[in-house]
């Protein structure tokens, strides 16, 4: 799956890579989380455009978002049948610019975060599906989910799911929804080739959405991982809850 990612490339570099007409200026983000607005590239009126959408897809048929599960990912194996995605996969496909993402692996009874990125350091485009949800009072909300696939042999060491990444040569094929057909894009919804991505352990500071700085990307040593491991609680002491983290934030 993909539950956190980063955007660190310069806005001009991303605009050149993805070819959208807008010229947005935005700061780097090191800990993008669900419910936040994220950049999505789509084709509209024959040209590529940059749009902000809420990460967490809401199908058009949802009446009350408060009672609907947040759909941050869409499984590639079932997007053609699932009611939440079967229209979007044919008519509303997008790309999410990124420079990598985080995944958590259970090691020694605790979850260790890893930063995963292209081995060559280049930015990438997550395959995405989007919908515009219309509320009862006329309000509209653009929402998006990241497509995932079963992990390949190498990345499966961290997690059994990975985000689908679209190569630059296939951007146009993925974004083109003019024919309302899916046969051409089905081969794109696969895991990255073995060796295409690299990863390293990072600090558990990434667990908290409020932490959003470049230090999150730095590799940590085995000694540092051990230092971050939860300490055994002393008998007779009541644990004090830390500050609440509601997972909200703003991309820009």
Q: Of 22, 77, 103, 228, which one is the catalytic site residue?
A: 103
Distance CA 34, CA 105 (A): 19
Distance CA 223, CA 52 (A): 40
Give me the residues paired with residue 98 across strands: 124
In degrees and rounded to multiples of 5, residue 5 shows phi and psi of -150, 175
Pairing of strands 124-134, 165-166: antiparallel
Residue 181 falls in the annotated catalytic set: no
Of 26, 47, 46, which Cα lies nearest the Cα of 38?
26
What the block records as the tokens of 123 is: 């930015």
Contact between 9 and 96 under an 8 Å Cβ cutoff? The reply is no
How is residue 79 annotated by DSSP? T
Residue 2 falls in the annotated catalytic set: yes
Of 159, 217, 220, 144, which Cα lies nearest the Cα of 192?
159
**Active-site annotation, residues:** 2, 103
């Amino acid at each position: 799956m993909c539950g956190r990612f980063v955007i660190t490339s310069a806005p001009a570099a991303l605009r050149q890579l993805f070819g959208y007409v807008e010229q947005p200026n935005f700061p780097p983000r090191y800990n993008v989380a669900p419910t936040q607005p994220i950049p999505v590239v789509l084709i509209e009126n024959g040209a590529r455009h940059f749009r902000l959408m809420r990460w967490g897809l809401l199908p058009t048929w949802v009446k009350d978002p408060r009672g609907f599960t947040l759909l941050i990912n869409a499984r590639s194996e079932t997007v053609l049948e699932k009611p939440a995605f079967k229209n979007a996969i044919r008519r509303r496909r997008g790309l999410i610019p990124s420079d990598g993402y985080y995944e958590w692996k259970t090691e020694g009874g605790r979850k260790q975060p890893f930063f995963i990125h292209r081995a060559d350091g280049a930015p990438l485009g997550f395959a995405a599906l989007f919908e515009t949800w219309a509320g009862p009072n006329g309000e509209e909300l653009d929402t998006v989910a990241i497509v995932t696939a079963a992990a390949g042999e190498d990345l499966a060491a961290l997690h059994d799911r990975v985000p689908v990444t679209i190569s630059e040569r296939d951007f146009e094929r993925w974004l083109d929804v003019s024919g309302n057909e899916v046969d051409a894009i089905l081969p794109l919804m696969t895991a990255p080739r073995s060796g295409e991505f690299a990863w390293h352990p990072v600090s558990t500071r990434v667990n908290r959405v409020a932490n959003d700085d470049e230090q999150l990307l730095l590799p940590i040593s085995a000694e540092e991982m051990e230092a971050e491991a939860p300490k055994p609680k002393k008998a007779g002491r009541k644990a004090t809850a830390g500050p609440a983290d509601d997972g909200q934030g703003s991309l820009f």
